């Protein structure tokens, strides 16, 4: 059978490694940029009543009209821009690639960056071009990106703002220069928008090739799987054709619309996470043998002493804490670990375990 598999499956799929998710059973989970808080106090009962009224025998609203209204209000999407919903922003990346894939079509992003840009480009049969970030601070190498745009002529460019897994926010003027120079579509991925004050949302329309992508995952609703794309109707009308019918299930639609009606409660959680990010950074900065990088997201990238990342990752796990080991993921991430900002108690436990492991 393996012979048949090897013969029939596309070589680029055979060459991929499936996206890995670690089992976190029994561990403090600081590996996946989740909000550590559940539904805010008191909302759970009301939410269950909303769910009880759902007709699960019916297909969901294909356009998610009510949810779209709630998202527009909560996220400040310009009224003249169209909105497309996805089963997580991962599905939106897939729709974008399916819409623009053609023989020789290229996707460009920066490395180290969000792995799904590269993976989904491959799924869609596109070539992926990764332009290295600057080694010292993970800033955009603007000249290198501009040269790559000119040389590779990508149909699609993704830039995460702030970037994952590095956590930094690229220079807005550099990003603007790249959008202006790009021959194709540029998608600014604002998955970490709740944790920074910067955004390109209000600049939609300033360039004909700019789209902005968001998700509710990092603000505390990762389990719902809901992402969105905002931009000019001319683009989104086309991308919408690749969307599977009813891609946003009815439970997600009503739950997200309900929760967004209480957005102030989530904003309070976000403020807490931002405060904890400052405290966690200071705690890491004070430890000898690790160097934290400044972050505008809900996680912190840490550089360990040469050769120690794997061992520290395992030592933390043995002490009941799961973070992300990035050592080996990219040459610029050698000796790097990434920790998600948790509750104050979780962050204290992490810092104590790291100190003991060092």
Ligand X SMILES: *Cc1c(COP(=O)(O)O)cnc(C)c1O
Q: Is 168 in the site for ligand X (CB under 6 A)?
A: no
User: Which residues of the chain form beta strands (DSSP E)?
Assistant: 28-29, 82-86, 106-111, 127-132, 156-160, 185-189, 210-215, 227-231, 290-292, 299-304, 321-322, 324-325, 336-340
Least Cα distance to 301 among 281, 283, 318 occurs for: 281
Query: Judged by CB under 6 A, which of 67, 74, 82, 89 binds ligand X?
Result: 89
What's the min distance (Å) between Cβ of 265 and ligand X?
20
Q: Is 81 in the site for ligand X (CB under 6 A)?
A: no
Query: Judged by CB under 6 A, which of 114, 128, 170, 195 binds ligand X?
Result: 114
Q: Is 157 in the site for ligand X (CB under 6 A)?
A: no
Per CB under 6 A, the segment of 53-61, 75-83, 85-93, 241-249 that binds ligand X is: 85-93
Per CB under 6 A, the segment of 87-95, 149-157, 200-208, 250-258 that binds ligand X is: 87-95
| Cβ-based nearer residue to ligand X, 164 or 325 | 164
Contact call for residues 182 and 205 (beta carbons, < 8 A): no
Q: Is 166 in the site for ligand X (CB under 6 A)?
A: no
What's the min distance (Å) between Cβ of 120 and ligand X?
11
The two structure tokens encoding residue 165: 């897994």
Contact call for residues 283 and 320 (beta carbons, < 8 A): no
Contact call for residues 133 and 110 (beta carbons, < 8 A): yes
Q: How far apart are CA 274 and CA 93, in angstroms?
A: 27
Per CB under 6 A, the segment of 14-22, 82-90, 276-284, 343-351 that binds ligand X is: 82-90
Please tell me the count of residues contacting ligand X according to CB under 6 A. 13
Instruction: Encode 192-208: b = buried (16+ Cβ within 10 Å), e = exposed.
Output: bbbbbeebbbebbeeee
Q: Is 109 in the site for ligand X (CB under 6 A)?
A: no
Contact call for residues 66 and 253 (beta carbons, < 8 A): yes
Query: Judged by CB under 6 A, which of 217, 253, 255, 357 binds ligand X?
Result: 217
Q: Is 220 in the site for ligand X (CB under 6 A)?
A: no
Q: What is the DSSP letter of 212?
A: E
Task: State the binding string over 172-201 for ligand X (x if CB under 6 A, else -).
Answer: -----------------x-x----------
What's the min distance (Å) between Cβ of 163 and ligand X?
7
Q: How far apart are CA 216 and CA 224, in angstroms?
A: 8
Q: List, in sequence order, every residue forming a beta bridge with 129; answer none if it has no partner.
A: 108
Q: How far apart are CA 311 and CA 291, in angstroms?
A: 16
Query: Judged by CB under 6 A, which of 64, 88, 220, 292 binds ligand X?
Result: 88
Residue 339 CB-half CA count within 13 A:
34
What's the min distance (Å) between Cβ of 302 and ligand X?
17
Contact call for residues 262 and 304 (beta carbons, < 8 A): no
What's the min distance (Å) between Cβ of 115 and ligand X?
9
Per CB under 6 A, the segment of 52-60, 88-96, 285-293, 306-314 that binds ligand X is: 88-96
| List of residues contacting ligand X (CB under 6 A) | 33, 88-90, 114, 160, 164, 189, 191, 215, 217, 222, 227
């Amino acid at each position: 059978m393996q012979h048949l598999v090897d013969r029939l499956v596309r070589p680029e799929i055979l060459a991929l490694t499936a996206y890995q998710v670690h089992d976190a059973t029994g561990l403090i989970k600081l590996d996946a940029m989740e909000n550590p808080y559940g539904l805010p106090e008191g909302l759970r009962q009301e939410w269950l009543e909303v769910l009880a009224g759902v007709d699960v025998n019916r297909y969901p609203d294909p356009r998610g009209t009510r949810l779209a209204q709630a998202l527009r209000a909560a996220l400040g999407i310009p009224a003249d821009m169209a909105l497309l919903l996805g089963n997580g922003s991962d599905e939106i990346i897939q729709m974008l690639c399916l819409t623009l894939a053609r023989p020789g079509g290229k996707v460009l992003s920066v490395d180290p960056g969000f792995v799904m840009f590269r993976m989904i480009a491959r799924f869609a049969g596109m070539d992926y071009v990764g332009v290295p970030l600057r080694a010292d601070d993970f800033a955009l190498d603007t000249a290198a990106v501009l040269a790559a745009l000119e040389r590779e002529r990508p149909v699609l460019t993704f830039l995460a703002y702030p970037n994952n897994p590095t956590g930094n926010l690229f220079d807005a003027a550099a990003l603007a220069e790249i959008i202006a120079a790009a021959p194709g579509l540029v998608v600014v991925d604002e998955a970490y928008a709740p944790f920074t004050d910067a955004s390109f949302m209000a600049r939609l329309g300033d360039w004909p090739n700019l789209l902005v992508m968001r998700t509710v995952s990092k603000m505390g609703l990762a389990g719902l799987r809901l992402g969105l794309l905002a931009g000019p109707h001319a683009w989104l009308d086309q991308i919408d054709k690749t969307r599977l019918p009813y891609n946003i299930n009815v439970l997600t639609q009503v739950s997200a619309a309900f929760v967004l009606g209480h957005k102030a409660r989530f904003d309070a959680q976000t403020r807490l996470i931002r405060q904890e990010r400052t405290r966690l950074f200071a705690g890491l900065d004070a430890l000898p043998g690790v160097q934290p990088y400044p972050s505008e997201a809900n996680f912190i990238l840490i550089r360990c002493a040469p050769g120690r990342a794997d061992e520290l990752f395992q030592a933390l796990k043995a002490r009941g804490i799961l973070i992300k080991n990035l050592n080996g993921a990219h040459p610029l991430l050698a000796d790097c670990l990434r920790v998600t900002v948790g509750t104050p108690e979780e962050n204290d436990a992490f810092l104590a375990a790291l100190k003991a492991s060092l």
